[in-house]
Amino acid sequence: MTDSHEPDEQQQRTASPVDPKLLDILVCPLTKSTLRYDRARQELVSEEAGLAYPIRDGIPIMLVDEARTLDDDEPIPEAVKADR
């Protein structure tokens, strides 16, 4: 069984690139903090919110409802947990 959050090799090869200018201006819709681009998982990660927003066909999906919660090895700050 594969991890559903991990893109397979085919997805990684065919993933549409995200415009670097877009990455420079996007912020987390919840916290307004900067995002880290995770190329391997095709996600934009908000460390402050503890969320990872998916990128589909080169388009970041910046909806909190579509974001996944970071794993235990990617801790969510206590301040953000309290706001949920």
Domain boundaries, the chain: 9-83
Q: What angle do CA 15, 42, 32 make, to 5 degrees?
A: 135
Q: 78 pLDDT band (50/70/90 cuts)? A: low
Hey, what are 71's tokens?
């794993």
Q: Which helix (H) or strand (E) holds 11?
A: helix 9-14
The reported pLDDT for the residue numbered 70 is 93
Contact 56, 44 (CB under 8 A): no
CA 44 → CA 1, 41, 78, 82, distances in Å? 25, 9, 20, 22
Q: 18 pLDDT band (50/70/90 cuts)? A: confident
Of the candidate CATH numbers 2.20.25.10, 3.30.390.10, 2.40.170.20, 3.90.1640.30, the domain formed by 9-83 belongs to 2.20.25.10
Q: What is the pTM of this model?
A: 0.69
Q: Residue 68 pLDDT more than 80? A: yes
